[in-house]
Chain A
Amino acid sequence: MEKKAQIRMFEMLAVLIVFLVLLSIGAVFYFRMQHSSVAKEIARAESLHSFELFQKMSYLPELDCSFRSITKDNCFDVIKLKEFSTLLESEEMKIDYFDVFGFSTVKIKKIYPFVGDWFVLYSNFPQDYSSKQISYSTVLLYNASSDFYDLGIVEVSFYGE
């Protein structure tokens, strides 16, 4: 009788162990899924933020091509670009414009009629960043001295911490 009870106890213990093993496998699976979905959410938020930054950057009044208060859509004035990038080199201005650009790099390059070199408008990124989101688009580059509109590309890299 005592032996039978012992066997029953072992049986119960074995069932409990199997149940706990199943439960822990389930829990590991569930938390791994949760973790990956949180990572996806973070990536989505960073992508959205990068797009927001890109949109803000496209409509900066500091760079637009305006003629008698009429602003030309999707256009950067080359002279304003050069002056603005010089201003942004100072730490004080970088702090002032941190709300707009955050941790990012903004580069512009002429692609038509000739391909030019990259021109860095703003660069401020952390030493350790977890992700980098790049947005790009075409833009008109107005050269007031020749009165020519060249085609350029603007590349905005956003760094996630």
Chain B
Amino acid sequence: MGNKAQMEILGLAIVVVLISLALLFAVQFFLLKPVSDEVKPAKESVVAANFLSSCLGTTTFCHGRTVKELLQDCALSGALVCPGDINSCLYVKQEIEKMLDASLDVWKKECFFSVNGMASDFSIGSECLGEKEYKQYPVVVRPGFDIIVSLEICG
């Protein structure tokens, strides 16, 4: 009888070991394995950097000036009168919004664009709350006076 009880305990122990192994497998596959895409952040970082560099270099209809030149004018005085009889600050914000709408908005990427370091700082969109890819681009207005143009793409 004692021998039979011992055998049953051994069987129970084997069952416990098997269940523990199955649980370990499950934990390994479902919980411990990271499910992140390493390429996505790199891609979004490139998208952000490319947007900033291409946006700043784009020629506008405001006296044929580029976005960068309009931002420089906005930082200094905002004296330039652009189509629609608006100053360079308002015009450049409106044009950047159009560019974002035709690119990042179409790709369904939430973003936050901002220009800081001048009297009339402005931003487009709302700040990312979670993960984000951030790029900034300094624009020299005159020696010792830089403005920072930045773009966050929410993850």
Binding site for B on A (CB under 8 A): 22, 26, 29-30, 33, 37, 44, 47-48, 51, 54-55, 58, 72-75, 111-113, 115, 135-140, 148-151, 153
In the complex, whether B47 has a CB less than 8 A from a CB of chain A is yes
Q: How far is the CB of B54 from chain A (nearest CB, A)?
A: 5
Nearest CB of chain A from residue B28's CB, rounded to whole Å: 9
- The reply to whether B18 and A111 form a contact with Cβ atoms under 8 Å apart is no
Are B102 and A112 neighbours in the complex by a CB distance under 8 Å? yes
- Interface residues in B2-25 (C-beta closer than 8 Å to A): 18, 22, 25
Determine whether B63 belongs to the interface, using a CB cutoff of 8 Å to chain A.
Answer: no
Please state if A22 and B59 are interface contacts (CB–CB under 8 Å): no
Q: How many residues of B contact A (CB 8 A)?
A: 31
Per a CB cutoff under 8 Å, which of B55, B57, B61 touches A113?
B61
Bound-state CA distance A55–B45 (Å) is 12
Interchain Cβ contacts under 8 Å between A and B, 17 examples: A33-B29, A44-B39, A51-B39, A54-B46, A73-B53, A75-B54, A113-B61, A137-B47, A138-B50, A138-B99, A138-B103, A139-B50, A139-B54, A140-B58, A150-B59, A151-B58, A151-B102
A152 to B43, CA, bound (A): 17
B37 touches A44 (CB 8 A): yes
Task: State whether A75 touches B107 (Cβ < 8 A).
Answer: no
Spell out B's residues near A (CB within 8 Å). 18, 22, 25, 29, 33, 37-40, 42-43, 46-47, 50-51, 53-55, 57-61, 64, 66, 95, 98-99, 102-103, 107
Q: Bound complex: CA of A47 vs CA of B58, how far in Å?
A: 30
Q: Known pairs A137-B47, A151-B55; list 6 more (Cβ under 8 Å).
A: A33-B25, A44-B38, A74-B50, A112-B102, A138-B99, A139-B54
Bound state CA distance, A136 and B108, in angstroms? 12
Q: How far is the CA of A75 from the CA of B42 in the complex (A)?
A: 20
How many Å from the CB of A44 to the closest CB on chain B? 7
In the complex, the 10 A-B pairs of residues with the closest C-beta atoms, listed nearest first: A111-B102, A47-B39, A137-B50, A151-B58, A148-B59, A138-B54, A140-B54, A149-B59, A138-B51, A74-B53
Bound Cα distance from A72 to B66, whole angstroms = 14
Q: Which of A33, A48, A137 contacts B39 (CB 8 A)?
A: A48
Point out the residues of chain B lying under 8 angstroms from A137, CB to CB. 46-47, 50-51
